[in-house]
Protein backbone atom coordinates (compact mmCIF):
# COMPACT_ATOMS: atom_id res chain seq x y z
CA UNK A 1 0.00 0.00 0.00
CA UNK A 2 1.31 3.43 -0.96
CA UNK A 3 1.70 5.89 1.92
CA UNK A 4 3.29 9.32 2.24
CA UNK A 5 6.51 9.65 4.23
CA UNK A 6 8.69 12.64 5.09
CA UNK A 7 12.44 12.47 4.53
CA UNK A 8 15.08 14.81 5.97
CA UNK A 9 17.48 16.47 3.55
CA UNK A 10 20.15 19.10 3.78
CA UNK A 11 18.42 22.48 3.80
CA UNK A 12 18.56 24.07 0.37
CA UNK A 13 19.11 20.70 -1.35
CA UNK A 14 15.45 19.65 -1.56
CA UNK A 15 15.16 19.90 -5.37
CA UNK A 16 18.50 18.16 -5.87
CA UNK A 17 17.39 15.30 -3.59
CA UNK A 18 14.08 15.06 -5.49
CA UNK A 19 15.96 14.82 -8.80
CA UNK A 20 18.49 12.29 -7.41
CA UNK A 21 15.76 10.12 -5.90
CA UNK A 22 13.65 10.13 -9.07
CA UNK A 23 16.76 9.21 -11.11
CA UNK A 24 17.67 6.35 -8.73
CA UNK A 25 14.09 5.00 -8.75
CA UNK A 26 14.12 4.97 -12.56
CA UNK A 27 17.61 3.48 -12.94
CA UNK A 28 17.01 0.74 -10.34
CA UNK A 29 13.60 -0.19 -11.74
CA UNK A 30 11.73 0.64 -8.53
CA UNK A 31 9.01 2.86 -10.03
CA UNK A 32 6.44 0.31 -8.84
CA UNK A 33 7.56 0.99 -5.23
CA UNK A 34 8.08 4.78 -5.24
CA UNK A 35 5.16 6.58 -6.85
CA UNK A 36 5.79 10.30 -6.26
CA UNK A 37 8.42 12.69 -4.81
CA UNK A 38 7.29 16.21 -3.84
CA UNK A 39 9.03 19.30 -2.47
CA UNK A 40 6.19 21.18 -0.65
CA UNK A 41 5.96 24.76 -1.91
CA UNK A 42 3.47 27.62 -1.94
CA UNK A 43 2.99 30.71 -4.08
CA UNK A 44 3.74 33.93 -2.19
CA UNK A 45 3.17 37.45 -3.51
CA UNK A 46 6.01 39.85 -2.80
CA UNK A 47 6.16 43.57 -3.40
CA UNK A 48 9.44 44.56 -5.07
CA UNK A 49 10.01 48.06 -6.42
CA UNK A 50 6.28 48.76 -6.13
CA UNK A 51 5.41 45.73 -8.30
CA UNK A 52 3.62 42.63 -7.03
CA UNK A 53 5.40 39.44 -8.15
CA UNK A 54 4.65 35.76 -7.49
CA UNK A 55 7.46 33.74 -5.90
CA UNK A 56 7.48 30.04 -5.07
CA UNK A 57 8.72 29.36 -1.52
CA UNK A 58 9.39 26.03 0.19
CA UNK A 59 6.94 25.45 3.03
CA UNK A 60 9.13 22.85 4.75
CA UNK A 61 12.83 23.65 4.22
CA UNK A 62 14.95 20.54 4.74
CA UNK A 63 12.14 18.06 4.02
CA UNK A 64 10.79 16.18 0.99
CA UNK A 65 7.58 14.12 0.78
CA UNK A 66 7.70 10.66 -0.80
CA UNK A 67 4.71 8.50 -1.71
CA UNK A 68 5.91 4.92 -1.63
CA UNK A 69 5.26 1.35 -0.66
CA UNK A 70 7.44 0.75 2.39
CA UNK A 71 9.58 -2.33 1.77
CA UNK A 72 13.19 -3.02 2.72
CA UNK A 73 14.35 -2.36 -0.86
CA UNK A 74 12.41 0.90 -1.16
CA UNK A 75 13.57 2.02 2.31
CA UNK A 76 17.22 1.39 1.35
CA UNK A 77 16.78 3.10 -2.01
CA UNK A 78 15.48 6.29 -0.39
CA UNK A 79 17.80 6.20 2.64
CA UNK A 80 20.94 5.80 0.49
CA UNK A 81 20.08 8.61 -1.92
CA UNK A 82 22.71 11.40 -1.81
CA UNK A 83 21.47 14.32 0.33
CA UNK A 84 18.96 12.25 2.32
CA UNK A 85 19.73 12.21 6.04
CA UNK A 86 16.86 9.91 7.03
CA UNK A 87 13.14 9.46 7.46
CA UNK A 88 11.05 11.40 9.96
CA UNK A 89 10.04 9.08 12.78
CA UNK A 90 11.74 6.71 15.20
CA UNK A 91 15.16 5.50 14.11
CA UNK A 92 14.27 2.32 12.19
CA UNK A 93 10.53 2.79 11.60
CA UNK A 94 9.42 5.70 9.40
CA UNK A 95 5.97 7.00 10.34
CA UNK A 96 3.52 7.55 7.46
CA UNK A 97 1.57 10.81 7.29
CA UNK A 98 -2.19 10.83 7.89
CA UNK A 99 -4.57 11.90 5.12
CA UNK A 100 -5.33 15.33 6.71
CA UNK A 101 -1.58 16.00 7.07
CA UNK A 102 -0.95 15.13 3.42
CA UNK A 103 -3.85 17.30 2.26
CA UNK A 104 -2.61 20.24 4.33
CA UNK A 105 1.02 19.89 3.18
CA UNK A 106 0.05 19.56 -0.48
CA UNK A 107 -2.65 22.30 -0.27
CA UNK A 108 -5.44 20.03 -1.43
CA UNK A 109 -8.12 21.11 1.03
CA UNK A 110 -8.90 24.49 -0.55
CA UNK A 111 -7.59 26.65 -3.30
CA UNK A 112 -6.24 29.23 -0.91
CA UNK A 113 -5.25 32.61 -2.24
CA UNK A 114 -1.57 33.41 -2.41
CA UNK A 115 -0.18 34.96 0.74
CA UNK A 116 1.58 38.29 0.38
CA UNK A 117 4.84 38.62 2.24
CA UNK A 118 5.73 42.02 3.66
CA UNK A 119 8.92 43.63 2.38
CA UNK A 120 8.63 46.25 5.11
CA UNK A 121 9.80 46.58 8.70
CA UNK A 122 8.31 48.38 11.68
CA UNK A 123 9.93 51.80 12.07
CA UNK A 124 10.75 52.08 8.37
CA UNK A 125 9.93 55.36 6.56
CA UNK A 126 7.55 55.10 3.61
CA UNK A 127 5.72 57.43 1.25
CA UNK A 128 2.03 56.86 0.49
CA UNK A 129 1.64 56.86 -3.30
CA UNK A 130 -2.13 56.36 -3.70
CA UNK A 131 -5.36 56.95 -1.82
CA UNK A 132 -6.60 59.96 0.12
CA UNK A 133 -3.25 60.50 1.87
CA UNK A 134 -1.06 60.23 -1.25
CA UNK A 135 2.21 62.18 -1.14
CA UNK A 136 2.31 61.98 2.68
CA UNK A 137 5.31 60.32 4.31
CA UNK A 138 5.26 58.40 7.54
CA UNK A 139 6.70 55.66 9.66
CA UNK A 140 5.39 52.07 9.77
CA UNK A 141 3.90 51.32 13.20
CA UNK A 142 2.28 47.94 12.50
CA UNK A 143 2.29 45.22 9.82
CA UNK A 144 -0.73 42.97 9.19
CA UNK A 145 0.42 40.23 6.79
CA UNK A 146 -2.95 38.44 6.83
CA UNK A 147 -4.70 41.45 5.26
CA UNK A 148 -1.62 42.81 3.41
CA UNK A 149 -1.94 46.14 5.22
CA UNK A 150 0.34 48.53 7.08
CA UNK A 151 -0.45 51.03 9.81
CA UNK A 152 1.54 54.16 8.95
CA UNK A 153 1.90 57.11 11.34
CA UNK A 154 1.41 60.21 9.17
CA UNK A 155 1.98 63.74 10.47
CA UNK A 156 -1.16 65.81 9.78
CA UNK A 157 -1.32 69.34 11.24
CA UNK A 158 1.60 68.54 13.53
CA UNK A 159 -0.01 65.38 14.99
CA UNK A 160 0.87 61.80 14.22
CA UNK A 161 -2.23 60.11 12.83
CA UNK A 162 -2.38 56.35 12.21
CA UNK A 163 -3.50 55.45 8.70
CA UNK A 164 -4.12 51.94 7.39
CA UNK A 165 -2.88 51.36 3.83
CA UNK A 166 -2.25 48.35 1.57
CA UNK A 167 1.25 47.20 0.65
CA UNK A 168 0.77 48.45 -2.91
CA UNK A 169 -0.17 51.96 -1.71
CA UNK A 170 3.28 52.75 -0.29
CA UNK A 171 6.90 52.79 -1.38
CA UNK A 172 10.06 52.85 0.69
CA UNK A 173 11.93 56.11 1.12
How many CB atoms are located within 10 Å of the residue 18 CB? 19
Helix or strand run (H / E) with residue 14? helix 14-27
**Mean pLDDT computed over every residue of the chain:** 86
Output the pLDDT for position 112. Answer: 47
157, 109: one domain: no
Regarding whether 73 and 146 lie in a shared domain, the answer is no
Identify whether residues 108 and 57 lie together within a single domain: yes
Collect the ranges in the chain with pLDDT lower than 70: 50, 108-118
pLDDT digits (tens, 9 = 90+) for 46-55: 777 767 788 8
- Contact status, residue 23 vs residue 94, Cβ threshold 8 Å: no
DSSP character at residue 169: G
CATH number of the domain where residue 52 is located? 3.30.70.940
pLDDT value for 113? 52
**Domain count of the fold of the chain:** 2
- State which residues form the domain around 160: 118-172
- Do 75 and 15 lie in a common domain? yes
Same domain membership, residue 64 and residue 78: yes
Question: Of 24, 55, 51, nearest to 42 (Cα)?
Answer: 55
User: Among 75, 97, 115, where does a domain finish?
Assistant: 115
The confidence score (pLDDT) of residue 108 equals 58
Buried b (16+ CB within 10 A) or exposed e, 118-147: beeeeebebebeeeebeebebbbeeeeeee
What pLDDT shows up at residue 110?
42
Residues 133 and 161 in one domain: yes
pLDDT score of 116: 59
Examine the fold and report which residue of 81, 98, 115 is the final residue of a domain before the chain moves on.
115
Residues 36 and 97 in one domain: yes
Amino acid sequence: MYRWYVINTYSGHENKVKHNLEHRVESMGQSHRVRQVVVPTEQVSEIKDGQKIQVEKRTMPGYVLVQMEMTDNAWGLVKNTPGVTGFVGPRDTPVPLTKPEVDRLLHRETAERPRTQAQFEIGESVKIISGPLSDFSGEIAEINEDQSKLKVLVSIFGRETPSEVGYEQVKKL
